[in-house]
Amino acid sequence: MQFPALLVIALVIVTPLGAQTTARLTLGGTMGTALASDELGGPVSLGAGVPVTAALSLAHPIGTGYRALVEVRAGRGSLHADNNGESSSIPGLTTVGVMVLVDGPVTSRVRWELGAGLLNYRPAERSGVFGQGGPTPWILGGGLSWTRPLSGTLDLVANGRYDFHQFRSRQLDSRGYTQYQAVHRVGLGIGIERSF
């Protein structure tokens, strides 16, 4: 399913935007484990580095204390290759994730969140593992958000997120690689949340 379609479906779930709808915008970074690794005269691996990450989400109450969230999370950075200890970077890797999450209270200021969605890899150039384009795997994730009121409708928010997906590209397929590489990512962001 394409991202715009998923986004439209997700937005329909949370609309109409009522009085308690909140929007959240955070900026931060994400660290992840390797996208691919192999043994070629020594260990070689490819990772997504630490991309700058922006996340925009809309939340709507779905029950006492619980909310449904639709989130778009975009990261921009470089691919980092490690060839037997010799490293290089390949600029221009964007990831765009769309997730539907549920969150609930832990304490008055801390909320948990859990959800699923899709993550699209958008390389600047078709080369290496992205020689035939970027994949769009399913993603599962969860985290914690901490908020502190700034004014009547505005909160400061800090968000920690863990997510997981399985990576394999068409280029890896065509070269005979099988199975998937489990990719674990941890992201931290800080921003604002506003109620409408």
Partner 1 sequence: MRRIIPVAVLLGAACSDLISPTRVPPYEYRQFVSSGASGIDTLTFRWPRSFLPVRIWVADNEPLRQPILTAISRWQGALLFGEFRAELVSDSSRADVIVRNVPAPGGIGLSRIRLDALAPECIGATDIRTDGTLTQVILPMRVYIWPRFSPQNPNITTCYEITATHELGHVLGIISPNHSPDPGDVMFSNPVFNGLSDRDISTAEVVSHITPTLTPTGRR
- Does residue 129 bind partner 1 (CB under 8 A)? yes
Whole-number Å distance between alpha carbons of 134 and 36: 13
Asked whether position 81 contacts partner 1 by CB under 8 A, the answer is: yes
Site string for partner 1, 2-31 (x = CB under 8 A): ------------------------------
ω before 123 within 30° of 0 (cis)? no
Residues 19 and 196 sit within 8 Å (Cβ to Cβ): yes
Our CB check for partner 1 shows the closer of 13 and 125 to be 125
Please report how close the Cβ of residue 181 comes to partner 1 at its closest, in angstroms: 5
Using CB under 8 A, pick the residue from 181, 185, 191, 193 that binds partner 1: 181
Coil, helix or strand at residue 8: helix
Give the dihedral sign, CA 39/43/44/46: positive
**Would you mind telling me the total number of residues written for the chain in this entry?**
196
Assess 175 for contact with partner 1 (CB under 8 A).
Answer: yes
- In degrees and rounded to multiples of 5, residue 50 shows phi and psi of -125, 85
Residues that bind partner 1 (CB under 8 A): 36-42, 44-46, 79, 81, 83-84, 86-90, 125-129, 131-132, 164, 166, 168, 171-172, 175-182, 184
